[in-house]
């Protein structure tokens, strides 16, 4: 078997493909249809949305032409995602799970279909809107918080598993000097290696097999021939 050195470039490709495999086997958290539906209901029925609608109705019904009061009221926007915030736990702070060294956790929830909400005029984006779990009414807050906590736990566990997986693969690759050593330690890695490298590793085995076939085809006795050559050399000096 020919020796194929594991170059740094080859290690990088193998690691990249190994991480791609991890992504396929461990898809990132995605809000279920049930969560999306309940979150939409919780937000649209929340106090701040009810008040926003009331303000809009009052301004619409009592606006005076020319004063521009209608521009002061909330406007209707279609959002494709919501960012739900909640205070971070002490453990999350210790593990540095918070965003940008803040003291809260954020969960971005993308919707399959947009949600229509009243927001301040001139909102900079129709893509995302932020709100705190505590902004929700009591009847929805507990259930939504459970969904949010489950999502954070799922993301936390996946991040830890991905980090551990990457570190293990990296350590293995750095401790193997040849492709043969890698495949002896981790046979499944063959699926992550270029076929050209695999063929090159088996190249010598192919030559040896061909030589054996040639000897057998002519009934060649290599041992006898070797002995003859050796004897002649000894006799001849």
pLDDT of residue 210: 62
User: Considering the domain boundaries, does residue 227 fall inside one?
Assistant: no
User: Considering the domain boundaries, does residue 185 fall inside one?
Assistant: no
User: Considering the domain boundaries, does residue 144 fall inside one?
Assistant: yes
Ranges of H-type helices in 72-137: 90-94
User: Considering the domain boundaries, does residue 204 fall inside one?
Assistant: no
81: burial class by Cβ within 10 Å (0-12, 13-18, 19+)?
middle
Domain that holds residue 120: 25-167
- Residues of the chain falling short of pLDDT 70: 1-2, 62-74, 120-128, 204-215, 217-222, 224-233, 235-237
Beta bridge partners of 115: 79
User: Considering the domain boundaries, does residue 121 fall inside one?
Assistant: yes
Please tell me the pTM assigned to this model: 0.73
Which residues, other chains included, contact 31 with Cβ-Cβ below 8 Å and sequence gap of 6+?
Answer: 39, 109, 110, 111, 147, 151
Tell me the C-alpha distance between 203 and 196, whole Å: 10
Residue 8 to residues 2, 163, 166, 235: CA-CA distances in angstroms? 19, 20, 16, 53
Q: For the chain, what is the domain count?
A: 1
Tell me the C-alpha distance between 212 and 219, whole Å: 10
User: Considering the domain boundaries, does residue 60 fall inside one?
Assistant: yes
User: Considering the domain boundaries, does residue 177 fall inside one?
Assistant: no
The tokens describing 210, both together, are 């061909």
The tokens describing 199, both together, are 């063929």
User: Considering the domain boundaries, does residue 97 fall inside one?
Assistant: yes
pLDDT of residue 146: 96
């Amino acid at each position: 078997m020919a020796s194929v050195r594991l170059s740094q470039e080859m290690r990088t490709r193998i690691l990249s493909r190994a991480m791609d495999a991890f992504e396929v086997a461990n898809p990132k958290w995605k809000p279920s249809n049930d969560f999306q539906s309940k979150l939409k209901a919780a937000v649209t029925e929340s106090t701040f949305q009810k008040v926003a609608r009331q303000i809009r109705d009052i301004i619409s019904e009592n606006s005076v032409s020319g004063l521009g009061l209608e521009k002061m009221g909330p406007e209707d926007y279609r959002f494709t995602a919501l960012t739900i915030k909640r205070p971070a736990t002490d453990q999350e702070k210790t593990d540095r799970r918070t965003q940008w060294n803040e003291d809260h956790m954020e969960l971005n929830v993308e919707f399959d279909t947009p949600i229509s909400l009243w927001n301040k005029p001139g909102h900079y984006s129709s893509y995302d809107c932020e709100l705190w779990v505590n902004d929700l009414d009591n009847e929805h807050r507990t259930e939504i918080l459970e969904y949010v906590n489950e999502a954070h736990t799922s993301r936390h566990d996946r991040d830890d598993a991905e980090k551990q997986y990457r570190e293990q693969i990296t350590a293995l690759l750095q401790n193997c000097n040849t492709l043969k050593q890698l495949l002896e330690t981790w046979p499944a890695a063959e699926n992550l290696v270029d076929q050209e490298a695999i063929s090159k590793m088996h190249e010598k085995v192919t030559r040896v097999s061909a030589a054996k076939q040639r000897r057998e085809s002519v009934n060649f006795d290599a041992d006898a021939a070797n002995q003859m050559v050796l004897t002649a050399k000894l006799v001849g000096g």
